[in-house]
A and B are shown apart, each in its own frame.
Chain A
Amino acid sequence: MKLSVEQWPAAYGEDAKPRKGFFTDTSICIGCKACEVACKEWNQVPPEIEGFSGHSYDNSRSLGANRWRHVAFIEQRLPADTNEGASLVQAAERGAAVDAGLASYQEGEGMRWLMASDVCKHCTHAACLEVCPTGALFRTEFGTVVVQEDVCNGCGYCVPACPFGVIDQREDDGRVWKCTLCYDRLKDDMEPACAHACPTDSIQFGDLGELRERADARVQRLRSEGQDRAHLYLADSDDGVGGAGAFFLLLDEPEVYGLPPDPVDPVRDLGSIWTATAAAAVALGVGLAAAIVGGRK
């Protein structure tokens, strides 16, 4: 795993700050949703009540224009006792863990809870920013990706461009909205509201390089303690979005949490897109010429 973090663009000169980000360690998320609430409060994000979803404890469903942090809840069935395929040793270990208070009764009975707080990834190669035709989306001096709401004209191009389905248009407002990594708080040397509110430090804020080192150590430790599916998501500068400012420690495959397993910035294929478009334009010109110039009246 590469830990190098892309050099901060020279565009800001001496005003450039170290790249900031989030390390969301889902292994210690307790699903309290304090991050969702703190984000809404600080950023004055309007309410959006969609009713009871039936999706475990998740009634807010997904990130969107009016939800910049979203806590996912996944209920999984583990082979708990020998009838379900667990070994005697595994069953005994599970019982001991419950007795010692290291695992919940639900875990003892074979129920695994996964909880994870999702957020805008603030990608190194951010499709939303690249496709924005007005320049409303921009890269801040902290390396984060922010929408200028006084410039956005609601064209909606960033919405299908985002490989994570994060940014969306707010109805009755017309513009697009997403996490700003609390740009206003960062300017005053404060941590973002969600990280500040998180009671377990599942959401950690800081300099990206340092966060990645911390995450690497954490994933090593979890693996050594038997969580062999623990892995980092979006912490690799060689992935399809060049690594992200907000990355995650996951205990299962990304798609289980509603995240794309191998996201790619669509703008990476811009060369072949423009080449094919130019070829089609030439073909159209040849076709027109053949029909008009080449024939009789």
Chain B
Amino acid sequence: MSQSDGAASPARVSQRDDAASPTPAGERGPVSYHGQPVLKEPVWSWEIPCYLFTGGLAGASAGVAYGAGVRGWETLSRRAWLTASAAIAVSPPLLISDLGRPERFFNMLRVFKVTSPMSVGSWILSLSGATISVAAFHDWTGRLPRPAAVARPLAAVSGLALSTYTAALLTNTAVPVWHEARRTLPFVFGAGAAVSAGGACAAATPVDCAGGARRLAIGAAAAELAVTQLMERRLQMHEEVYRSGRAALFSRVSRGCLVAGAALMGARGAASRRAAVAAGALLCAGGLATRWSVFEAGKQSAADPRYVVEPQRRRLDG
């Protein structure tokens, strides 16, 4: 499906893998078999990075909505439930359309497996979808007050899981750049969820009611930049994946959008709704670009046999 993306990358084939000049036996052999990848690239397409974004946006917006409701900030709470329900509404269609057999999407709820973050996530998404829908429905229509009273805190809590489980999904694979980020990627995705929720809710709410969303957006953007930096530094040799190809491009776009969005939100977000909308859009773009960069990094990492073989060889050689 997407194998050609990696094949086009010039960095893929190691210098030592030239099939025309056989390697002397007895020396350390080539690091790969004719430059072929050891792993299969993820077959997921554009829907998945989009869902990584919309899932986080929905989950963290539910938290904003619940928190604002508790504080009695009705305008922010209402706009945040609206944001959450829009984001959660597009999430299942994105996931279903990426399936090889979309008509069988319901098989996701055949079992519950803790060893499969995708299985756990299907249940989290179901719970978030149901609770956010009920809460938002009550908010618009005033109906179902009792179910909504139960749904609101549940939506806020399941939203935290919805915002972060996708990191477990990616790191629970053999793809080196994902698996080696298993302690930091959840924080990148959690901060990204807060950035997009803060940005979107600040954009959707009149400025005099949006102070909480602005604070969240600015603080989370700073956190996102910091934890992404930390993740890349701790990846050691795999850090170079984020310095090449499309992963690097999306990573640069992400940093630029986050810095510009946070600066604009801080400088003008409280004074001008237009500035708040522009800043919110930049922050959402930054959150999406971060996810996309991680997604592309996984493909690049799987396509290059060096990233698989070299760390394993070092481990064996002690």
- Type the 1/0 row for B202-225, where 1 means its CB is closer than 8 Å to any CB of A: 000000110111011001100100
Chain B residues whose CB sits within 8 angstroms of the CB of A72 once the complex forms: 33
A273 and B209 contact, CB distance less than 8 A: no
Query: Roughly how many angstroms separate A45 CA and B119 CA in the complex, as a whole number?
Result: 29
Q: Is residue A62 contacting chain B, with contact meaning CB distance below 8 A? A: yes
A133 and B119 contact, CB distance less than 8 A: yes
B184 and A276 contact, CB distance less than 8 A: yes
Taking the nearest CB of chain A, how far is it from the CB of B86, in angstroms? 19
Q: A159-B43, A261-B316, A291-B212 are in contact. Are A76 and B25 (CB under 8 A)?
A: yes
Which residue of B68, B163, B183, B316 is within 8 Å of A276 (Cβ)? B183
**Which of B188-196, B233-241, B258-266 contacts its partner?**
B188-196
* Tier of interface size on chain A: 35 or more
Q: A291-B212, A291-B219 are in contact. Are A258 and B182 (CB under 8 A)?
A: no
Q: Is residue A242 contacting chain B, with contact meaning CB distance below 8 A? A: no
Query: Roughly how many angstroms separate A74 CA and B29 CA in the complex, as a whole number?
Result: 11
Residues of chain B from 164 to 192 with CB closer than 8 A to chain A in the complex? 164-165, 167-169, 171-175, 178-179, 182-187, 189-191
Q: Is residue A145 contacting chain B, with contact meaning CB distance below 8 A? A: no
A262 and B316 contact, CB distance less than 8 A: yes
B38 and A164 contact, CB distance less than 8 A: yes
Q: Is residue B137 contacting chain A, with contact meaning CB distance below 8 A? A: no
Query: Roughly how many angstroms separate A294 CA and B122 CA in the complex, as a whole number?
Result: 32
Q: Is residue A162 contacting chain B, with contact meaning CB distance below 8 A? A: yes
Count of A-B contacts judged by CB separation below 8 Å: 292
Which interface residue of B25, B115, B167, B198 has the most chain A CB atoms within 10 A?
Answer: B25
- Type the 1/0 row for B60-78, where 1 means its CB is closer than 8 Å to any CB of A: 1001100110110100100
Query: Roughly how many angstroms separate A173 CA and B99 CA in the complex, as a whole number?
Result: 11
Residues of chain A from 50 to 81 with CB closer than 8 A to chain B in the complex? 53-56, 58, 61-62, 64, 72, 74-79
Q: Is residue A190 contacting chain B, with contact meaning CB distance below 8 A? A: no
A131 and B38 contact, CB distance less than 8 A: no
Q: Is residue A2 contacting chain B, with contact meaning CB distance below 8 A? A: no
Residues of B in contact with A (beta carbons under 8 Å apart): 1, 19, 21-26, 28-34, 36-44, 60, 63-64, 67-68, 70-71, 73, 76, 98-102, 104-105, 107-108, 110-111, 113-119, 122, 157, 160-161, 163-165, 167-169, 171-175, 178-179, 182-187, 189-191, 193-194, 198, 208-209, 211-213, 215-216, 219-220, 223, 298, 302, 305, 308-309, 312-313, 315-316
Sampled A-B contacts (15; CB under 8 Å) = A76-B22, A77-B24, A77-B25, A78-B26, A133-B116, A151-B110, A166-B40, A255-B313, A272-B183, A273-B168, A279-B187, A280-B164, A280-B186, A284-B191, A292-B68
